[in-house]
Structure 1
Amino acid sequence: MFEWLSIDNLEAVIEQYKLLGPFAGIFLTFIESFIPILPLFVIVVANASAYGLFWGFLLSWLGTVAGSYVFFLLIRKFGNHRIFRYIKEQQQIKKLIHWVDIRGLTPLFVLLCLPFTPVVVVNSVAGLSNIKKKYYLFTLFASKPVMIFLMSYLGSDLRAILSEPLKIIISGLIIFVIWGIGKLVERSLNKRVERDLRAIEKTKNDKLQGM
């Protein structure tokens, strides 16, 4: 089975993928915003391998921004519908919505910059919060290039990476480090959410006791 995974075979698959046209590159990154089990990293790498660094990056960037924003708009419009109720009723989501309403777009921007952030959760929180639509669209456009460009860069010269073990190791280490940084940032934000919400609750209780 693994004998099939040669550089020539992978390049042949990329050529077949390229025949689908740029629409496929946009569509797959678009739909990944709705179906997070799809491997965004693989899709972005395929786009960069098929269309080059610039066009691959552009297709992936536009697709993922469009998908995230459409998902955000659907949650904003139908968030109270029973189909999305399971999302809204999760305790962690409730906390994040309240915190984002207090802190604004900065924490969402940080999360969206990280490659392995659960984007469905971020888009859901944004859609259920009171953030203005135009501001969230700007945040998506500004944050996504960081993540997409890094993935595109790794996939832009697939033969060079796969043919040299050292480059494979370096690429793997880069991905692992970014994943680790993402987890640390996510954990730090979660602690800050808890701390801020406890402080807000304490302030409310102090005011009630002072009345």
Structure 2
Amino acid sequence: MSRFSRIGLLIVVFALVMAYWFSPTVKAVTDGSLAAFATLDQAAIERFIQQWGPQAAAVSFFLMILQAIVAPLPAFLITFANASLFGAFWGGVLSWTSSMAGAALCFYLARILGREAVEKLTGKTVLESIDDFFTRYGKHTILICRLLPFVPFDPVSYAAGLTSLRFRSFFVATGLGQLPATVVYSCVGGMLAGGTYWLVTGLLILFALAILIMMVKKITQQRQKRR
């Protein structure tokens, strides 16, 4: 981590702390966001977002960024809430763009702070499991992990920042891999409850696994050709 990066990070952290303590709005949004997340209740998150009126979309965007940093809070609850409050299309756009911003932030935080700090944010065991994916699939890791609903989103972003992977490649793969889940969750987010939730989740997992199998087969064939 360069001296310039350290100084820049300290300035940003100081500014955020000052904003939290001296801006009633920032403090209210932050405290309210954490309280809403603590309930693990989609309805509670919806109520919290909705109470901000014209600023509701901005608050939802902030929520997604916050959960990216304070991993592993469930981002899909925000996606469901966005679909319910803003509709499938605009809620999906909001969820996708904010999750992309969160992924980019995690990527650069890892690149600036280093592995030791990332292990504290994600947990050493989780990070090591993501490392195994990078060992197996190399440059295809990001796309594969994004397509699998059971692979945690934010630790993958942090882990990518610790590699030599270029940000552009990471960003494109994240955008493409995250799109199917965002579309599915946004289209049915307002209807997901009980058995319906698990049915849709199961179908999404099967879809992701089908794509994963095809990708692994393709990678294997490419390696055999090189040999």
TM tier, smaller: 0.5 to 0.7
Instruction: Name the aligned partner's letter for residue 202 of structure 2.
Output: F
Distance 1:39 1:176 in 2: 17
Q: Secondary structure at the match of 1:120?
A: helix
Distance 2:46 2:66 in 1: 20
Q: Which residue of structure 1 lines up, in the alignment, with residue 162 of structure 2?
A: 128
Distance 2:119 2:72 in 1: 21
Q: Which residue of structure 2 lines up, in the alignment, with residue 30 of structure 1?
A: 65
Distance 2:59 2:197 in 1: 26
Is 1:45 aligned to residue 71 of structure 2? no
Q: Which residue of structure 1 lines up, in the alignment, with residue 50 of structure 2?
A: 18
Q: Which residue of structure 2 lines up, in the alignment, with residue 178 of structure 1?
A: 204
Q: Which residue of structure 2 lines up, in the alignment, with residue 55 of structure 1?
A: 90
Does the CA contact (< 8 Å) of 1:14 and 1:46 recur in 2? yes
Distance 1:175 1:95 in 2: 22
Q: Secondary structure at the match of 1:131?
A: coil
Per-residue deviation, 1:35: 2.3
Per-residue deviation, 1:175: 1.3
Instruction: Name the aligned partner's letter for residue 173 of structure 1.
Output: L
Q: Which residue of structure 1 lines up, in the alignment, with residue 102 of structure 2?
A: 67
Instruction: Name the aligned partner's letter for residue 52 of structure 1.
Output: G
Q: Which residue of structure 2 lines up, in the alignment, with residue 119 of structure 1?
A: 153
Per-residue deviation, 1:153: 1.1
| CA separation of 1:91 and 1:64: change in aligned 2, threshold 3 A | closer
Does the CA contact (< 8 Å) of 1:53 and 1:152 recur in 2? yes
Does the CA contact (< 8 Å) of 2:148 and 2:209 recur in 1? no
| CA separation of 1:137 and 1:177: change in aligned 2, threshold 3 A | same
Does the CA contact (< 8 Å) of 1:101 and 1:131 recur in 2? no
What fraction of aligned residue pairs are identical, expressed as a percent?
Answer: 21
Instruction: Name the aligned partner's letter for residue 59 of structure 1.
Output: L
Ranges in structure 1 where 5+ consecutive residues have no aligned partner? 1-9, 163-167, 197-211
CA-atom RMSD in angstroms? 3.7
Rg larger in 1 or in 2? Answer: 1
Q: Which residue of structure 2 lines up, in the alignment, with residue 109 of structure 1?
A: 143
| CA separation of 1:83 and 1:18: change in aligned 2, threshold 3 A | same
Instruction: Name the aligned partner's letter for residue 30 of structure 1.
Output: I
Instruction: Name the aligned partner's letter for residue 90 of structure 2.
Output: W
Q: Secondary structure at the match of 1:49?
A: helix
Q: Secondary structure at the match of 1:36?
A: coil
Does the CA contact (< 8 Å) of 1:100 and 1:129 recur in 2? no
The Cα offsets for residues 21-59 of structure 1, whole Å up to 9 and x where unpaired, read as 101221112222222342222211110100001110011
How many correspondences in the alignment?
171
Does the CA contact (< 8 Å) of 1:117 and 1:182 recur in 2? no
| CA separation of 1:170 and 1:129: change in aligned 2, threshold 3 A | same
Distance 1:91 1:15 in 2: 35
